Amino acid sequence: MSMTIFREHVNRYGIAVLTTVGATALRIELNPVLHDRNPFGLYFLSVIITAWLGGVGPAIAALILGTIAAAHFIILPGNSLLVDDVADVFALAIYFVVGAVAIALFHKLTEERRRFEQQLKINEELSSRLSDADKKKDEFMALLAHELRNPLAPIRTSLELLDRADIGQEQLAQVRKTIRRQLNQLIRIVDDLLDVSRFLRGQMRIVKEPVDLRTVIETAVETARPLMRERDHSIHVWVPREAVWVIGDNLRLTQVLSNLLTNACKYTPRGGRIQIAIEQQGCNATVEVIDDGIGIPKEAQVGIFETFTQVNTCRAQEQAGLGLGLAIVRQITELHGGQVSVFSDGPGCGSRFTVALPLAENVVPADDCDRLNEESASEAIPSGKRVLIVDDNMDAAETLAALFTFDGWCTSIAHEGGAAMEQVDVMEPDVILLDIGLPGMDGWEVARKIRARKLAKEPLIVAISGWGGESVAQQTLDAGMDYHFVKPVDVSQLQAVLARRLTGKAAAVSGALD
């Protein structure tokens, strides 16, 4: 027992002794008034004071001491400890039992108070965390609005430019480029938000197939190349001659590396040098993305992979985002059984991000030539084919119809399910592009009804919806549709799929894209 604990025990049990001595002295003083009445009242007081100040152990000690003192000094003053009067013995026993019960109740009360105080502390912590989260949410909403406005502003200006009658060809091309780039930025923000929400709900799934990391790097570099060019960075890619196989999701791994490359571009001043390299270390493949940019302070490196984390000094950067990119990188890497880490010597010293993934054993590469995302629009669409576009958002329906008309399709539009059913009878479409969230009858129901009619010429039905994810895509297939595309749709990819189906060159693949 340490000295401090010993001293604390002496103090607490000292209270028992002091209060008992005090009670005895007071009782003896009061003897001329009380005589033999109420011999133990003051001892109750000593037990309760001791319990209050010293706790249960000292209170029991006070109870025992009080019993002995009462027997010795009050009931039989100046005689022995032996009590021979039965009534006195009973009175002593009752005092003892009542004292013990009082201590037990006191103990219970103290325990409850302790628990209550603990709960209060937990509640206070929770409420402070809640208000922190609330504050973070407000900050995030402000940031989100800011990040959404950033691409919206040039789109609006570009549209105003398009309204000018005297716009030249060169300017037109520039405006188109701007709109496309800013739109891609908007899509990226929305995709990141959806990805993070999927992670938080534990719904992120990855495909597991052999993937050559060299291909992943190649695609990621291509994705980041426009930004690199824009910011005059040079890129150096170091890959081995032989394939580096890992088991995983090609698209998601590309997302990891393109996020890292995009960050390297964003956080490196113009004209920087960016490197990406693969190395094999034991049973791992490591990919390093190195830049000579603004670097990251040591203390900021710890939480950098958390959602919404941004290094303050970077907020001023024109390219800063929502603080989701690295969180997504970590989540995807971990879903692949890998790890991601960061190293930087500090501000101004550049950064190095390392992704380590387990190497695949005995790989038999999958034949991935059938993947929908690699389909190209090289297939010509037979002219005169009929497409019915069903969407309650008039602008969405009309712009899509305009594009299809340009490409030689006969188009028709419906804005809700009932009208769509009528149009099916009138125009006998080859393809129906069907929004899911329609007013009244939803897209799935419309599709089920069309399939139930068992038409002589069954149209291809393609869901085009704001909702993505496996379960939604499955519902689409269950409703008898052929494909599920998530808005905003890449029209050339959609037309490539349609062309292959309509020319009969593709097997009847039912797939989901999200």
Is residue 291 a contact residue for ligand ADP (CB under 6 A)?
yes
Q: Are 419 and 389 in contact (CB under 8 A)?
A: no
For the beta carbon of residue 316, count every other beta carbon within 10 angstroms.
Answer: 7
Q: Which is nearer to ligand ADP, 192 or 379 (CB)?
A: 192
Encode burial over 444-463: b for 16+ CB neighbours within 10 A, e otherwise. bebbebbeeeeeeeebbbbb
Is residue 430 a contact residue for ligand ADP (CB under 6 A)?
no
Piece in contact with ligand ADP (CB under 6 A), picked from 23-31, 232-240, 307-315, 396-404: 307-315
Q: Are 70 and 15 in contact (CB under 8 A)?
A: no
Q: Which is nearer to ligand ADP, 236 or 371 (CB)?
A: 236
Long-range (24+ apart) CB contacts under 8 A made by 365-373 are: 365/210, 365/212, 365/243, 365/245, 366/209, 366/210, 368/209, 368/250, 370/507, 370/509, 372/493, 372/497, 372/509, 372/511, 372/513, 373/251, 373/493, 373/513
By beta-carbon distance, which residue lies closest to ligand ADP? Answer: 321
As measured in angstroms, the least distance from the Cβ of 240 to ligand ADP is 24
The residue from 189, 322, 486, 497 that contacts ligand ADP (CB under 6 A) is: 322
The residue from 39, 99, 293, 417 that contacts ligand ADP (CB under 6 A) is: 293
CA–CA distance, 418 with 441 (Å, rounded to integer): 8
Mask for 348-387, x = binds ligand ADP (CB under 6 A):
---x------------------------------------
Closest CA to 113 of 60, 59, 55: 55
The residue type at 286: T
**Strand (E) or helix (H) holding 288:** strand 284-291
CA dihedral 97, 100, 104, 107 (to 10 degrees): 160
Q: Which is nearer to ligand ADP, 126 or 142 (CB)?
A: 142
Is residue 340 a contact residue for ligand ADP (CB under 6 A)?
no
Is residue 311 a contact residue for ligand ADP (CB under 6 A)?
yes
The residue type at 218: E
As measured in angstroms, the least distance from the Cβ of 466 to ligand ADP is 23
Piece in contact with ligand ADP (CB under 6 A), picked from 22-30, 37-45, 290-298, 472-480: 290-298
Is residue 151 a contact residue for ligand ADP (CB under 6 A)?
no
Q: Are 506 and 500 in contact (CB under 8 A)?
A: yes
Size of the site for ligand ADP (CB under 6 A): 22
Token representation of residue 164: 């000018």
As measured in angstroms, the least distance from the Cβ of 346 to ligand ADP is 11
HSE at residue 65, side-chain half, CA atoms within 13 A, is 24
As measured in angstroms, the least distance from the Cβ of 462 to ligand ADP is 33
The residue from 314, 335, 441, 502 that contacts ligand ADP (CB under 6 A) is: 314
Piece in contact with ligand ADP (CB under 6 A), picked from 85-93, 133-141, 321-329, 479-487: 321-329
The residue from 217, 224, 296, 497 that contacts ligand ADP (CB under 6 A) is: 296
Q: Which is nearer to ligand ADP, 39 or 321 (CB)?
A: 321
Q: Are 357 and 304 in contact (CB under 8 A)?
A: no
CA–CA distance, 326 with 196 (Å, rounded to integer): 11
Is residue 309 a contact residue for ligand ADP (CB under 6 A)?
yes
Residue with tokens 């197939």: 209
Is residue 287 a contact residue for ligand ADP (CB under 6 A)?
no
Binding positions for ligand ADP, 225-284, rule CB under 6 A:
263-264, 267
What are the residues whose beta carbons fall under 8 Å from the beta carbon of 380, sequence distance 6 or more? 499, 503
The residue from 39, 66, 272, 325 that contacts ligand ADP (CB under 6 A) is: 325
The residue from 326, 388, 390, 473 that contacts ligand ADP (CB under 6 A) is: 326
Tell me which residues touch ligand ADP (CB under 6 A). 263-264, 267, 291, 293-296, 304, 309-311, 314, 320-327, 351
